[in-house]
Chains A and B, each alone.
Chain A
Amino acid sequence: MTVLLCPAPFSPEREMALLAQGKTGDCGALASFVGYCRATSASGAVEALVLDHYPGFTEKEIERIAAHVIERHQLIDLHVLHRVGAVAAGEAIVLVAALSAHRAPSFAAVAEMMDYLKTDAPFWKRELGPSGARWIEPTADDYARRQEHAR
């Protein structure tokens, strides 16, 4: 398992190439998701997102959930890279990649990990635009998706 918080931009392509190179012979599936900072939102133009975190606690909490997801889906491995600090429009915010023997567990694990990160990981997100800063909190849809995994 890898959980990395990145204060500067990372290359999802490079990270994926490293994962593919490092995979073991029992791995039959590698599913991934990359989230990017969009240049627009419901409230207009977005210049950047600023992600606050709780040093120490954020890493520990993501690792705790990642371990649970690995066990639940019988993964070979799970990787999470997440930006902290200012993220410019167009840059990657998050990469989640799951490796498993067959495809279904890796697809499910990536979705579950993302739904967790959206609602329950210790990050706080502000959107910076021409009209100033605005806190972004999870939507009802985000919470509903997260609830589905609790069943």
Chain B
Amino acid sequence: MTKILFFGRLRDAAGLAELSCCLPQSLRTVAEVRQWLGARDPNLGQALAAPGVRVAVDQTFCASEQACAAGAQEIAFMSPLSGG
């Protein structure tokens, strides 16, 4: 099972903060996971593809094309970060 987390505006777009799912084994990159989520919910897919969205896999930042999704425990999609 993989836990998928949504932060910031993306939580609003997803309508939830987290979900647990069995990702198809064919999904290897973050971009593929994003497309898979987008196929289920096109609005969410669009929000995930917006500029400034960052992704962490197992609590490490990961680029879209990186093949880090396979076997991931936790994938976090984050809208632009803003503290201070």
Chains A and B bind each other? yes
Interface residues of A (CB under 8 A from B): 35, 51-52, 54, 56-57, 60, 82, 93-94, 114, 117-125, 135-138, 142
- Residue in B9, B59, B78, B83 whose beta carbon sits within 8 Å of that of A94 in the complex: B83
What are 10 A-B pairs with beta-carbon distances under 8 A?
A54-B5, A57-B76, A118-B84, A122-B81, A124-B9, A124-B81, A125-B83, A135-B79, A137-B80, A138-B82
Q: Is the interface of A mostly helix, strand, loop or mixed?
A: mixed
Grouping DSSP codes into helix (H, G, I), strand (E, B) and loop, the B interface class, with mixed when no group exceeds half, is: loop
Closest to B8 in A: A124
Q: How far is the CA of A16 from the CA of B82 in the complex (A)?
A: 24
User: How long is the Cα–Cα vector from A138 to B78 in the complex, in angstroms?
Assistant: 14
Q: Given that A57-B59, A57-B76 are contacting pairs, would A125 and B7 also be in contact in the complex, using a CB cutoff of 8 Å?
A: no
5 cross-chain pairs, A with B, having the tightest CB-CB distances, nearest first: A123-B83, A124-B8, A117-B84, A117-B83, A121-B83
The one of A54, A56, A82, A137 in contact with B82, judged by C-beta atoms closer than 8 angstroms, is A137
Residues on the B chain within 8 Å of A142, using CB = 82
